[in-house]
């Protein structure tokens, strides 16, 4: 059997469906899963174990048999905890077949076959009775169905069903309850991920200001949560406007309702400012008294010095529909609305009518910009330093008779080119959404008759699209919405090649070239997501390690994966190195571009992997980096471009976790850019 997988093709800038071996999807699922990260989460595992022991004891103290239902068992870890705590029997439910098979092996390897039954079904399909999957209802409900937003993985409907059909009334639950906390803040940085700020352009004929359409100004955005490692957000990047308050909590030992609802709290601002953002996180009490607590609270809230890093549960950033001025001491109402899977917020001034019915409809983006640009892209478009580099470069290359063509998805470059004096500007928009957004944009700035949008693929561009002009300046950021890895934006080079016949012989291409850079790093924590676990809380989970390893090895060449490194601290062990150059002044060559060499390690540390990123040389002396901004001190701490994901290639020595007695002194690399596919293959060896 074959399966079809969606994948961005860097040579066409389009999503394509590729036929893959039937195992491909499952291997991707396992290889990129967060199982390793959860198994490395010592705090979570320890607290679950304590909570399970306590629940089994409470049931036994009542003289009852302890029958456990574990929904979403994964490796079977929580069921094994229950069995070793003295539970009489455990039903472990896992819907993902490869995972259920692994759980069966792990349970067997740890000697719990007679106590644990793994059921490969969705919990809503499990039957109870003499001939059912479960002999009887359980009296202890154990689950780990939570994501950063708590309810995004369907915890509420799952609990609702379990209470109706699978567990006894008054059962014990681990965790016993979850509580969601919120804090109101003002943050220009975070607000810049959701709204477009005015762009100032110093032109020959005075300052021009690029504004966004009112429809975009007033758009609530998309309802999907923005989950980040809030612990990497410096306190200088936000202003706290309220104390932390409890928004709502869910008691998992009682019937749970998943139907849409809302919660409201009164807040008294501790400072005047613009309320823009609701920061949110949760904690879980593993026992009724709340003595066994596992919290996601960020650094400025949590008093304990022992800090648990985790990537499977982070913190949430919610954008209010509009920024609201608040005054210190003047009370406001914050409302959280939720459906089965997501939460959104609104803020109201305290008024008489504030008890009127709250509309619990999920916010919808009507301006389309939030569908075209993701949050990091909004941040990038709002980055004034970056915009200045493009303005400076355009001023260098534009003439009064310049005919300019822009190739990038939903870019402000056409507006900049017009204001900086180009005679004519065309922009190529590949999709109906980007065309629609750009039309609104040009209209809001009275440029609809000044900039021509061409909705065509580069290869189908005709002279009539360009009104029989030859292009003298070809520009791109480059940015394309289908790009996942840094080099996918090299689609600009393929597009430039496709439009060659429309370019003047002395065309200026901006950027004139791009270069691929790399550096060897040691991660503070990110390595855990690819590191084997071995023994977890006394249970042997090496079957899971082997499964992840074989999935990572499923592809002949290992692949780099995208990560926003501003959220994942690392230190450089080598100098950054330019490894490949792509000259946009020429067309894409027929032959592959490849390079090999070695890079010396200058600092002591564990070589967890290589980070790769692109730099675009806009002109001979102006460039922008999508990766390393600077190495900030002699320890090698790195600052990364916060709007882009960098490519991380984990070395297998991390995954096999060899204890390196002699630290390697250098790393050899071989990197090959296949011009036919637009893909980069790489190989590294530690010397």
Phi-psi domain of 150 (left: phi exceeds 0; alpha: psi -120 through 50; beta: other):
left
Which residues does residue 548 pair with via DSSP β-bridges, in sequence order? none
Q: How far apart are CA 569 and CA 76, in angstroms?
A: 32
Token readout for 113 is 């076959």
Catalytic residue among 22, 64, 94, 153: 153
Catalytic residue among 94, 144, 561, 615: 144
Is 31 strand, coil or helix? helix
Torsion of CA 381, 386, 392, 394, to 10 degrees: -40
22 is known as an active-site residue: no
Which residues does residue 226 pair with via DSSP β-bridges, in sequence order? 317
The residue with tokens 């005054």 is 327
125 is known as an active-site residue: no
Is 639 strand, coil or helix? strand
- The Cβ of residue 629 has, within 10 Å, a number of other Cβ atoms equal to 12
Q: How far apart are CA 68 and CA 77, in angstroms?
A: 13
Q: What DSSP string runs through 531-600?
A: S---EETTEE-HHHHHHHHHHHTSSSS---EEE-GGGS-EEESS--EEEEEEETTSPPPSS-EEEEEEEE
HEC string for 241-259:
CCCCEEEEEEECCCCCCCC
Name residues whose C-beta falls within 8 Å of residue 673's C-beta, 6 or more positions apart in sequence: 487, 516, 580, 582, 592, 593, 594, 679, 680
The residue with tokens 């479960």 is 134
Q: How far apart are CA 214 and CA 496, in angstroms?
A: 34
Active site residues: 144, 153
């Amino acid at each position: 059997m074959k399966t079809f997988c969606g994948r961005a093709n860097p040579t066409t800038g389009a999503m394509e469906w590729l036929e893959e071996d039937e195992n491909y999807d499952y291997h991707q699922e396992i290889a990129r899963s967060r199982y390793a990260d959860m198994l490395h989460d010592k705090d979570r595992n320890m607290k679950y174990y304590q909570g399970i022991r306590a629940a089994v004891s409470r049931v036994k103290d009542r003289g009852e048999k302890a029958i456990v239902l574990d929904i979403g068992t994964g490796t079977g870890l929580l069921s094994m905890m229950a069995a070793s705590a003295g539970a009489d029997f455990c039903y472990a439910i896992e819907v993902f077949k490869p995972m259920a098979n692994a759980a069966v092996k792990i349970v067997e390897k740890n000697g719990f076959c007679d106590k644990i039954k793994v059921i490969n079904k969705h919990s809503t399909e499990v039957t109870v009775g003499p001939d059912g999957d479960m002999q009887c209802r359980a009296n202890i409900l154990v689950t780990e169905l939570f994501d950063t937003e708590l309810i995004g993985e369907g915890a509420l409907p799952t609990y609702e069903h379990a209470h109706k059909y699978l567990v006894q009334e008054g059962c014990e639950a681990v965790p016993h309850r979850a509580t969601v906390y919120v804090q109101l803040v003002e943050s220009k940085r975070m607000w810049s991920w959701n709204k477009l700020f005015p762009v100032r352009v110093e032109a020959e004929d005075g300052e021009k200001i690029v504004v966004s359409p009112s429809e975009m100004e007033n758009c609530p955005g998309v309802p999907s949560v923005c989950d980040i490692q809030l612990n990497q957000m410096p306190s200088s990047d936000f202003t706290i406007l309220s104390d932390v308050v409890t928004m709502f909590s869910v008691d998992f030992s009682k019937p749970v309702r998943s139907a849409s609802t809302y919660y409201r709290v009164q807040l008294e601002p501790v400072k005047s400012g613009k309320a823009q953002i609701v920061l949110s996180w949760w904690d879980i009490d593993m026992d009724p008294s709340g003595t066994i607590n596992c919290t996601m609270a960020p650094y400025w809230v949590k008093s304990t010095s022992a800090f648990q890093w985790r990537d499977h549960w982070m913190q949430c950033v919610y954008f209010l529909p509009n920024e609201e001025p608040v005054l210190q001491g003047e009370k406001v109402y914050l409302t959280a609305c939720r459906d089965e899977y997501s939460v959104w917020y609104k803020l109201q001034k305290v008024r008489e009518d504030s008890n009127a019915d709250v509309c619990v409809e999920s916010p919808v983006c009507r301006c389309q910009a939030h569908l075209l640009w993701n949050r990091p892209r909004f941040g990038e478009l709002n980055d004034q330093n970056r915009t200045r580099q493009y303005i400076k470069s355009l001023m260098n290359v534009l003439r009064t008779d310049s005919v300019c063509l822009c190739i990038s998805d939903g870019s402000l470059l056409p507006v900049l080119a017009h204001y900086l004096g180009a005679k004519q500007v065309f922009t190529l928009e590949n999709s109906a959404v980007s065309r629609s957004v750009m039309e609104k944009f040009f209209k809001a700035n009275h440029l609809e008759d000044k900039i021509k949008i061409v909705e065509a693929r580069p290869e189908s561009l005709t002279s009539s699209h360009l009104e029989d002009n030859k292009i003298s300046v070809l520009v791109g950021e480059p940015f394309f919405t289908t790009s996942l890895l840094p080099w996918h934006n090299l689609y600009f080079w393929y597009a430039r090649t496709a439009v060659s016949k429309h370019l003047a012989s002395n065309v200026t291409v901006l950027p004139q070239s791009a270069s691929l850079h790399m550096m060897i790093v040691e991660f503070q924590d990110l390595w855990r997501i690819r590191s084997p676990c071995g023994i977890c809380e006394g249970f042997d989970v090496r079957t899971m390690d082997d499964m992840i390893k074989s999935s990572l090895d499923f592809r002949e060449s290992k692949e780099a994966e995208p990560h926003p490194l501003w959220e994942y601290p690392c230190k450089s062990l080598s100098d950054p190195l330019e490894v490949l150059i792509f000259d946009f002044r020429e067309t894409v060559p027929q032959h592959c571009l490849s390079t090999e060499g070695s890079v010396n390690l200058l600092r002591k540390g564990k070589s967890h992997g290589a980070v790769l990123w692109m730099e675009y040389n806009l002109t001979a002396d102006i460039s922008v980096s999508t990766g390393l901004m600077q190495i900030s001190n002699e320890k090698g701490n790195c600052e990364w471009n916060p709007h882009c994901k960098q490519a991380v290639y984990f070395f297998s020595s991390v995954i096999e976790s060899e204890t390196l007695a002699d630290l390697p002194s250098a790393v050899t690399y071989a990197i090959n850019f296949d011009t036919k596919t637009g893909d980069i293959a790489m190989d590294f060896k530690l010397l």
